Structure 1
């Protein structure tokens, strides 16, 4: 296994071990925890599919994200509908590629040891920390907050994962810590579970 494949395997294992889904439906908290049996994790064999888990309607953000927003209110403002997507000019696309690669390179994969904690700009972290950090950098570059959505997904192997989704008039673009390539849903192995709306604290 070369260093790139090893890094991808490590990054995926971290999310598989550390990510838990916490949603609220009409005051009823539903929680499913992901198993941490990842000792034999291998790089993914992509199946280039796009699927979505049946929606249960509007939901609260994951608890760990709500706690993040309490400490980082500027990152969680309710976005405006008119700026809910961004036109990807060549300049904007270059910025996306640069931020995606930079953050993937700068954060060392590490599992949360004391519960699920979401952090931006850590020196080490798991998949949602990569997504939060990319979102923060892109906001600083002038991307509209409401076009940058954190999404909880599952890989083709059923493993829990989190990515940053950039909403555009021509479809979503996915920024994933497992790859420096920026792809649409149909070019990934991901099944969407839940994603933030223009309001980061309301998911659907």
Structure 2
């Protein structure tokens, strides 16, 4: 528990962007655990863009699976092309997540993709920012929840991937009930990954 709290504290500033492995298969869902502190820069983001952190409208629904996945691929690829990658300050006083900048880091990519999908009518409960660890450190991605599983939109690849094939250690994400609340991600059963490797 102390290790998780320490990790979340370290990740509370702007997150560097890191490389990941590729993989694809039909997915299962990331499992929420206990409430944790949201990254500090996310809190600042909600202060600057309060509409981005509101709960889903009761009318908001996902499109059919095939249409939804096509939209995810389109948004992921277009945002990855529109924003030039740049290392930003991780100083908590200077760092800031920005929607649709001309250049930015993993945080800016993730929030811009979420913003575009929300504008298309997607429910906030299906679009969750998530903190992950790659071998070199912290990274932020967007998780899209479809009927058959959770998928990763990442600035490091135009492919929309099953979360189990992304090569990350999963730390925390927005709650499905309230985007302002963050939860730790439960450790997954090793059988989930064995099933992935057998496909």
Q: TM-score, normalised by structure 2?
A: 0.72
Distance 1:97 1:149, change over 3 A: same
Show structure 1 runs of 4+ deviating over 3 A. Answer: 41-48, 79-83, 85-88
| Cα pair distance change 1:56/1:186, threshold 3 Å | closer
- The answer for the alignment partner of 1:175 in structure 2 is 153
**In structure 2, do the counterparts of structure 1 residues 98 and 66 end up closer, same or farther at CA, with 3 Å as the change threshold?**
same
Alignment of 1:1-204 (within 5 A): 31-32=9-10, 44=20, 57-79=34-56, 86=62, 88-113=64-89, 115=91, 116-155=95-134, 157-198=135-176, 199-204=178-183
1:119-171 residue CA offsets vs partner (Å, 9 max, x unmatched) = 1111111101100000000111111112100000012x242111000012211
Supply the distance in 2 between the matched residues of 1:190 and 1:30 (Cα, whole angstroms): 15
Distance 1:161 1:80, change over 3 A: same
Q: 1:203 to 1:81 in 2, by over 3 A?
A: farther
For the residue of structure 2 that corresponds to 1:57, the secondary structure is: strand
Tell me how far 1:108 sits from its aligned partner: 0.8
- Do the aligned residues in 1 keep the contact of 2:111 with 2:129 (CA within 8 Å)? yes
**What is the number of residues matched between the two proteins?**
169
Gap regions ≥5 residues in structure 2: 184-199
Structure 1 residues 168 and 82 mapped into 2: Cα distance closer, same or farther (>3 Å)? Answer: farther
The 8 Å contact of residues 87 and 168 in structure 1, kept in 2 or not, is answered as no
RCO comparison, higher one (Cα < 8 Å, 6+): 2
Question: What is the rounded CA distance, in whole Å, between the counterparts of 2:128 and 2:101 in structure 1?
Answer: 19
Residues 74-125 of structure 1: per-residue CA shift (max 9 Å, x gap)? 1100237996x83553222221111100000110111223623211111111
> Unaligned regions of 5+ residues in structure 1, if any?
1-22
Q: Name the SS of the counterpart of 2:9 in structure 1.
A: strand
SS where residue 58 of structure 1 aligns? Answer: strand
The CA RMSD over aligned residues, in Å, is: 3.4
